[in-house]
Amino acid sequence: MADYREAPLATRPKTLDPNEYFNLSPEQRRAEEARGALRANLKRQYQLQLNNPHRKELIEDPALTRWVYARGNPYAHFRPTNKTSLLGAMFGVVPLFALYYIFKTDRV
Amino acid sequence: MAGVGFRRWAQALSKGKGSGISALLSGCRAASGLSKDSLPGPYPKTPEERAAAAKKYNMRVEDYEPYPDNGEGFGDYPKLPDRSQQERDPWYQWDHPDLRRNWGEPMHWDFDMYIRNRVDTSPSPVSWSTMCKQLFGFIGFMLFMFYVGEKFPAYQPVVSTHLNARILFSLFFCWCFFLTVTIFSSFKMAGSSFF
Q: Which residues of B touch A38 (CB under 8 A)?
A: 58-60
Number of structural domains found in chain B:
1
Confirm whether B41 is domain-assigned. no
Of A63, A76, A84, the CB nearest to B107: A63
- Tell me if chain B has a CB within 8 Å of the CB of A45: yes
Size of interface A-B (CB pairs under 8 A): 125
Tens place of pLDDT per residue across chain B (195 aa): 555 555 656 665 556 555 555 455 555 667 777 888 899 999 999 999 999 999 999 999 999 999 999 989 999 999 999 999 999 999 999 999 999 999 999 999 999 999 999 999 988 888 888 999 999 999 999 999 999 999 998 888 888 889 889 999 999 999 999 999 999 888 887 776 665
| Per-residue CA distances from B103 to A3, A12, A27, B15, B58 (Å) | 39, 27, 27, 29, 11
Position B125 scores a pLDDT of 86
Shortest alpha-carbon distance between residue B166 and chain A (Å): 54
Q: Is the ipTM of this complex over 0.85?
A: no
Confirm whether B133 is domain-assigned. yes
DSSP letter at A91?
Answer: I
Confirm whether B143 is domain-assigned. yes
Cβ distance of B124 and A10 shorter than 8 Å: yes
Confirm whether B61 is domain-assigned. no
Cβ distance of B105 and A43 shorter than 8 Å: no
Q: Report chain A's mean pLDDT, rounded to a whole number.
A: 90
Express each pLDDT in A48-65 by its tens digit. 999 999 999 999 999 999
Shortest alpha-carbon distance between residue A14 and chain B (Å): 9
Torsion on CA atoms B53, B54, B55, B59, rounded to nearest 10 = 150
Shortest alpha-carbon distance between residue B121 and chain A (Å): 4
Check: CB of residue B83 under 8 Å from CB of residue B121: yes
Express each pLDDT in A11-29 by its tens digit. 888 778 777 788 788 898 8
Q: Which residues of B touch A36 (CB under 8 A)?
A: none
Confirm whether B89 is domain-assigned. no
Cβ distance of A45 and B103 shorter than 8 Å: yes
**Residue A106: φ, ψ to 5°:** -90, 90
Confirm whether B142 is domain-assigned. yes
Confirm whether B66 is domain-assigned. no
pTM as predicted? 0.71
Express each pLDDT in A66-78 by its tens digit. 999 999 999 999 9
